[in-house]
Amino acid sequence: MQISYKIRTNAFTLIELLTVIAIIGILSAIIIPTIGKVRETAQRAVDASNLREVGKAALLYASDHNDRLPDPNMLPAPSISAPNKYFVWLGLLARYGGINEASLLFSKNDGLFDGYVPPGILNPADPTKNTLHPDLLARIPSINFVGGLKVTDPSTTPLAFTRGLTVAGTWNGIGATANLGVYGDGGGHILFLGNNVQYFKSIENKLVGTEGTLTSDLRATIKAGGTRRIYGLDSGNNVAAEDGVVGTGL
């Protein structure tokens, strides 16, 4: 008598494989965006910390310059050689503020960041420290600055902010590449003179104007007259750029 045996294999059936693949797909759809969001949030925290370091350097500069923060329009004119006054601001910060870390000026979330961080802000080949590193001059940093401020100005006065801020109080995430907000149109950081940093999705009526009223326009927070200007490379936001200066009407 011949006895036959059925040998059971441990292989998955087609239905089981398709079920597993479907589950993996669902989990990936849930987990991957979450991981991306966590990484973005973590980078924003790094960016905020970098802005505070910029604020500390600006205040250190002021301690040696009659309580005046970096001012590209100062008289006599600064000896910093740069293609426009935006980079002059950075040169003053680096030379007299004790900070030469170019990494503080760039966000990894920035659509214009190419992954390369210049070795420094100042040009190491210039012993006079009057010129900036050529690699820095070839790039667009992630932050804009307000020049000509004094330590005695209100602590609610913006000193620096994420690139792409418009007069409407939003960050520009659409349009010409040069106007791209660092976080798209999702918001940005503002560093205040009190050296506190806050992230805003929109600053609609959240800034304190010079008259003590709330405003959405960062220009309205800076006292008119003198040499106070908003410096940035993203023309089209705030007021049309002139020699690297945004907000020439202040």
Question: pLDDT of 22-40, one tens digit each?
Answer: 888 777 777 666 656 667 7
In a domain, 220, yes or no: yes
Residue 68 gets which letter from DSSP?
B
In a domain, 1, yes or no: no
In a domain, 100, yes or no: yes
In a domain, 2, yes or no: no
Contact predicate 69/145, CB 8 Å: no
Q: How far apart are CA 179 and CA 186, in angstroms?
A: 14
Q: Which of 108, 134, 110 is nearest to 120 (CA)?
A: 134
Range of weakest confidence among 67-76, 96-105, 149-158, 229-238: 229-238
Which residues span the domain enclosing 204?
A: 14-246
- Per residue in 111-165, pLDDT (tens digit) is 889 999 999 999 999 999 999 999 999 999 999 999 889 999 999 999 999 988 8
Contact predicate 238/246, CB 8 Å: yes
How many structural domains is the chain composed of?
A: 1
In a domain, 196, yes or no: yes
In a domain, 9, yes or no: no
Q: Which of 215, 164, 199 is nearest to 185 (CA)?
A: 164
What are the helix and strand counts (H, E) for the chain? 3, 8
In a domain, 127, yes or no: yes
Measured N-to-C along each axis, helices 85-96 and 14-63 cross at an angle, to the nearest 10 degrees, of 70
Q: How far apart are CA 190 and CA 196, in angstroms?
A: 8
pTM given for the model = 0.79
